[in-house]
Structure 1
Amino acid sequence: MIRSADIREWRDHDVIDAKQHRIGMLEAVYVDTATDEPAMATVRTGLPTRQRLVFVPLDDAVLGPDYVKVPYSKGLVRKAPSIGTDDVLPAEREAEIFRHYGMAYQPGEGGERQLARR
């Protein structure tokens, strides 16, 4: 498991898929609010004048010397739900991200968010 303190050091490093295709640059890490463990990352993609942040799970992510490798294809990640580079993830869109990757969404007992940006 990647620790929160470790993954923050990889901000602005390349995010690549299992076939070594570059997806984009790591922008931020979101932790699971129940465990405080890294759960998702946002990846900066697009043209310099039209960038956006797409979400990718960090389960089974591997850290390299100058990259973070995720087990999801570049195509799948690029089609993931996204936000603008200056936007905040709305609570109602969290479930959409988990569905995109075929993952179960588990909000808190009181309806709390599952993800928090670190």
Structure 2
Amino acid sequence: MITREQIPIVLDHPVYDADGSKVGDAKHVFFDDASGQPEWVTVKTGLFGTNESFVPMRGAHMVEDHLEVTVSKDRIKDAPNVDVDSGGHLSEDEEHRLYEHYGINWDEAWQQANDPDQAGWASPGEELPGNTAAEAAAVGGTAADTRRSRDDAMTRSEEEMHVGVERQEIGRARLRKYVVTEEQQQTIPVRHEDVRVVREPVTDAELDDALSGPEITEAEHEVTLHAERPVVETRTEPVERVRLSTEEVTEEETVTGTVRKERIEADYENNEDDRRT
């Protein structure tokens, strides 16, 4: 069990669940209104500790520099949303919701919290150790009210915005190969044979051959003509390799958020005129 003397050690220290997994950091301790016993601890969870969940202190104990609780991390993250800025006091409805979420019997919890002989709990009305305003504000309303009579300082707090990034899928790219048909033109030279009549006078050397035939007769002579024509043939040739690659591009993006800040003003009452009369 966690005693009042251990509260300053608990605050701002890591909190681990029943399986030894870190849940977050302890921020506030809430006490039972009737007995004054430490009953709940709030733990900062989520990205950059943006969520604060209530965790039962029943069965919790300190191990070296961290607090170990008896419930699982998943159950803590799914705990009902209860306003932490409630002046250190939980309503009966809020407590019922928390008890129901963690499977704690309301009647048994009330009897155990109000048993003055229970070991490990501080007695009702016992004062917390230390006397700083920061400690008083951190542990909730009961302790803060006790401290307020011993410290005339007021603590001012404000929220800070912490912005991070998370990686998410925004789309997909794929390669798809398909076939298209297009017309191409190419000019090539082609040859063909033409016939022409060549007339040559008979020379003295050819005179004997020319007189060897019949004197006057009919005859025919035939030649074969040739021509070239274009022939189209296609062949598949590899021309390039195509693949997909990704590259990271960094750009500036402005994020707008809302934070709350406390302001402290002083009111003065001047009784000087009353003293003069």
The question of a shared fold, defined as TM-score above 0.5 by the shorter chain, is answered with yes
Amino acid in the other structure paired with 1:68: L
- Report the Cα distance in structure 2 between the residues aligned to 1:39 and 1:5, rounded to whole angstroms: 14
Give yes or no for contact 2:61–2:67 (8 Å, CA) kept in 1.
Answer: yes
- Report the Cα distance in structure 2 between the residues aligned to 1:39 and 1:103, rounded to whole angstroms: 12
Give yes or no for contact 1:24–1:45 (8 Å, CA) kept in 2.
Answer: yes
- Report the Cα distance in structure 1 between the residues aligned to 2:83 and 2:90, rounded to whole angstroms: 12
Amino acid in the other structure paired with 1:55: F
CA displacement 1:20-53 (0-9 Å, x = unmatched):
10011001111112211111100011112x7121
Structure 2 equivalent of residue 104 of structure 1? 105
Structure 2 equivalent of residue 112 of structure 1? none
CA displacement 1:38-86 (0-9 Å, x = unmatched):
11100011112x712101101111101111000101001111123466x
Structure 1 gaps of 5+ residues are 109-115
Instruction: Give the CA deviation at 1:9.
Output: 2.1
The structure carrying a bigger strand percent of its residues is 1
Structure 2 equivalent of residue 37 of structure 1? 37
Structure 1 equivalent of residue 53 of structure 2? 54
- Report the Cα distance in structure 2 between the residues aligned to 1:78 and 1:47, rounded to whole angstroms: 12
**Aligned-partner SS, 2:47:** coil
**Aligned-partner SS, 1:39:** strand
Give yes or no for contact 1:15–1:23 (8 Å, CA) kept in 2.
Answer: yes
Structure 2 gaps of 5+ residues are 111-138, 144-277
Structure 2 equivalent of residue 80 of structure 1? 79
**Aligned-partner SS, 1:82:** coil
State the 4+ residue runs in structure 1 displaced beyond 6 angstroms: none
- Report the Cα distance in structure 1 between the residues aligned to 2:81 and 2:4, rounded to whole angstroms: 22
What TM-score, normalized to structure 1?
A: 0.78
- Report the Cα distance in structure 1 between the residues aligned to 2:27 and 2:81, rounded to whole angstroms: 12
Give yes or no for contact 2:82–2:94 (8 Å, CA) kept in 1.
Answer: no
Structure number with greater Rg is 2
Amino acid in the other structure paired with 1:97: L
Structure 2 equivalent of residue 113 of structure 1? none
Identity %: 31
Q: In the superposition, relative to structure 1, how do residues 83 and 52 fare at CA in structure 2: closer, same or farther (>3 Å)?
A: farther
Amino acid in the other structure paired with 1:39: E
Structure 2 equivalent of residue 18 of structure 1? 18
Q: In the superposition, relative to structure 1, how do residues 38 and 84 fare at CA in structure 2: closer, same or farther (>3 Å)?
A: closer
Amino acid in the other structure paired with 1:4: R
Instruction: Give the CA deviation at 1:98.
Output: 1.3
Higher RCO (CA < 8 A, seq sep 6+): 1
Q: In the superposition, relative to structure 1, how do residues 84 and 32 fare at CA in structure 2: closer, same or farther (>3 Å)?
A: closer
Amino acid in the other structure paired with 2:61: V
Superposed CA RMSD in Å reads: 2.3
- Report the Cα distance in structure 2 between the residues aligned to 1:93 and 1:70, rounded to whole angstroms: 20
